Chains A and B, each alone.
Chain A
Amino acid sequence: MGLIGNAPYLSNIIVPGQLYDMDVYVNTMPSRSFFSNSDKLKGPTQKTSKPVWSGKDLIYSVEMSPLASLNYTLPTAMVKSVLTQNKTIYMHMQVHFRTQADDPSTKDERFL
């Protein structure tokens, strides 16, 4: 990892071999800042979770790992919001990267 400050060189942190998990949030909110003040719902890996009501919009989350793919069926309520309210649907991503490869429970969560 590179250091900011007096370090003359800066580095990115993703390198091959490090482990990451990725959460995908599908909702009708364009801003990603809502993550910090809303309930976060996680489902089992590579499976969709139940919706949670957070103020104005329904938030759905999908937890999956990189190098994976899945078919995600949009909830009916979300489709209706597009048809009746002219809303759009956004996908947000959040990455958890593990600081210890042997301990999957060790995660450092940061919002992207």
Chain B
Amino acid sequence: MSLVSFHTKDQVKTDQNLFNEQVMPGVEKEKELDTIWYPYLKPAVSAYLVYDDTWYLSDMSNVSPFIFNHLAMEATYGIYLPITYPSDFWVLKKHLTLMDANFTTDNATVTLSMGTLYHKYFQYQRQFESSCK
């Protein structure tokens, strides 16, 4: 998972006062397009271990498509590897930290949160993320 994402400054907007955005009818507001992509640091990411005691059919017919892509077999031991699930889904763009010449080490802190997820919740989370894309 990448801790840095690239955006234009227009894409990363802070909260706006909607009253300031009002434009008189018939008057077009000039807007400068920012085409430069800047690196932004994510202030927090989460990583989960997904626990699952489901017995899956050997033809994988009862595996959810949201879990199937994360399953990896370990042939030596004949088991599945644990599912690790990094997520930055809850990091809003307005919380990203611009990495430019003014970037200092005071801003270079990333909060790593670890936890476990039940596979059903993991499935719902993946489904929710897919619907938001």
Total interface residues on A, CB under 8 Å, equals 47
Cβ-based interface call for B25 (8 A): no
State in angstroms the CA–CA spacing of A62 and B101 once bound together. 27
Main secondary structure of the interface of B (DSSP, over half): strand
Shortest Cβ distance from residue B24 to the other chain A in the assembled complex, whole angstroms:
42
Chain A residues with CB under 8 Å of chain B are 1-5, 7-16, 18, 20, 22, 24, 26, 30, 62, 64-74, 76, 79, 82-83, 86, 88-91, 93, 95, 97, 110, 112
Min distance, Cβ B117 to any Cβ of chain A, angstroms? 10
Q: Given A2-B79, A2-B80, A90-B3, is A24 in contact with B112 using a C-beta cutoff of 8 Å?
A: yes
Which 7 pairs across A and B sit closest by C-beta, in order of nearness? A12-B52, A14-B51, A4-B78, A74-B108, A69-B113, A9-B55, A89-B3
Tell me the nearest residue of chain B to A92, going by C-beta.
B1
Residues of B within 8 A of A64 (CB): 112, 114
Are B49 and A22 closer than 8 Å at their CB atoms?
yes
User: What string of 1s and 0s marks CB contacts (under 8 Å) between B73-107 and chain A?
Assistant: 11101111111101000000000000111010100
What are 23 A-B contacts defined by CB distance under 8 Å? A1-B77, A1-B79, A2-B56, A5-B78, A9-B57, A13-B82, A14-B50, A14-B53, A14-B82, A16-B51, A22-B114, A24-B112, A66-B49, A67-B114, A69-B112, A70-B111, A73-B109, A74-B110, A82-B4, A83-B99, A83-B103, A90-B1, A93-B84
CB distance from A19 to the nearest CB of B (A): 11
